[in-house]
Amino acid sequence: MTQHDDHDLALLVRDDPVHTGPADTARMIRVGTRLRRRRQVGIAAAVGLAAAAVVAPFVLLGGTDTAVDTDLAPAGQTSASTSEAAQDPSTDPTQVTPKSLRDLSGSAQVCGVAVCRVSRGTVGSVERGEVIGTRLEMGTFDGVPEVLYAARNKGFDTITGKPKDSVDVLSAGIVVDGQLRRTVWSFQPVEEAGVLGPVFLYGAQRTIAEDGTPQFAMFGLIEGEHQEVTATVDGQSRPVAGLSTTVYPGYTAFYDRGPWDESWGDRAEITYGVPGGPSCTPLECGMIG
């Protein structure tokens, strides 16, 4: 690196136009608040476990009532040392007490498998890629079909950062007035072979169904064509909600949904796989966007 190089780069930076579009600060605050609450839930859980670890021997050994009253709070409460979580939410709606560890914003996203209803209404980019297989219908969301599909896109390969003639990407979307709108740009499995896979999972976080109940929803891909993909919870297996071997040639695309178990952490603790074949949990293979 020479001073000449430094100078040239400084000129390029100086001449580069700054972005002129608007910032969606409200969305950042909404997402940031959610992240903050998740962290607080984690802290509260850790404090609860730590308190239980300290107190359990006292209880087992016939410890005093005082120890239990002060250190092992009843379910739904926490130690006073949980800083922000112990404050009164009436003074600051972003602060949470143990009674309000769930999203209090009143704008909880209501989700299908992939698409979520947000304040701005219909979401999604018009799919400009060429759909290369069939569309797997995952049901309807907000009255429109939600589908899983693969599209061939031209342009840059964002994995390598290099221009590429085309990349085939598994995506999810909705069909509005006959127009396919992409809501999630997901996997480019061929390019990722050897790095990820053979199971690719997306989603599985806690969301709210249209009927107001907590649920999880996710979709994925498994290398090869399989007639069965199972979801296993606590040793009990069942078929996933839907699958297809014609969405993404050479792979089995599937989706799944179900009620949320409040004992789960950030993501549904479910193992997805092929009987006798590869399997994975969202914690190992999944990504939350």
Partner 1 sequence: MDRHQRDREFEEFVAASWPRLRRAAYLLAHDTHDAEDLVQSALARCYAGWGRIRADSAYAYVHRALVNGYIDSTRRRTPVPVDHTTADEPAPGSPTDDADQRSELVELLAPLSPRERSIVVWRYYLDASEQDVAHELGVSVGTVKSTASRALARLRSAHTTTSLTSSQEHR
Considering only residues 158-177, where is the footprint of partner 1 by CB under 8 A? 158-163, 176
Binding to partner 1 by residue 3, rule CB under 8 A?
Answer: no
Binding to partner 1 by residue 287, rule CB under 8 A?
Answer: yes
- Please identify which residue in 9, 45, 56, 59 interacts with partner 1, judged by CB under 8 A: 9
Binding to partner 1 by residue 25, rule CB under 8 A?
Answer: yes
CB of 20 to partner 1, least distance (A): 5
Tokens 């989700």: give the residue. Answer: 111
CA distance 283 to 194: 19
Q: In this structure, are residues 232 and 219 in contact, taking their beta carbons and an 8 Å threshold?
A: no
SS3 13: helix
Q: In this structure, are residues 254 and 243 in contact, taking their beta carbons and an 8 Å threshold?
A: yes
Binding to partner 1 by residue 61, rule CB under 8 A?
Answer: no
Binding to partner 1 by residue 60, rule CB under 8 A?
Answer: no
- Please identify which residue in 78, 79, 183, 279 interacts with partner 1, judged by CB under 8 A: 183
CB of 147 to partner 1, least distance (A): 14
Region of residue 143 (phi > 0: left; psi between -120 and 50: alpha; otherwise: beta): left
For 4, list phi and psi in degrees, rounded to 5.
-65, -45
Of 176, 171, 170, 185, nearest in space to 122 by CA = 176
CA distance 199 to 135: 20
What x-and-dash track marks residues 200-219 binding partner 1 by CB under 8 A?
--xx----------------
CA distance 2 to 193: 39
Binding to partner 1 by residue 178, rule CB under 8 A?
Answer: no
CA distance 265 to 39: 11
Say if residue 190 is exposed, middle or buried (CB neighbours under 10 Å; 0-12, 13-18, 19+): middle
CB closer to partner 1 out of 63 and 139: 139
Tokens 């100078």: give the residue. Answer: 7
Considering only residues 26-55, where is the footprint of partner 1 by CB under 8 A? 27-29, 31-33, 35-36, 39
CB closer to partner 1 out of 176 and 233: 176
Rg (CA), the chain: 24
- Please identify which residue in 126, 140, 193, 224 interacts with partner 1, judged by CB under 8 A: 126
- Please identify which residue in 51, 58, 86, 94 interacts with partner 1, judged by CB under 8 A: 94
Binding to partner 1 by residue 98, rule CB under 8 A?
Answer: no
Binding site for partner 1 (CB under 8 A): 1-2, 5, 8-10, 12-13, 15-21, 23-25, 27-29, 31-33, 35-36, 39, 84, 91-95, 114, 116, 118, 120-126, 155-156, 158-163, 176, 181-188, 191-192, 195-196, 202-203, 287, 289
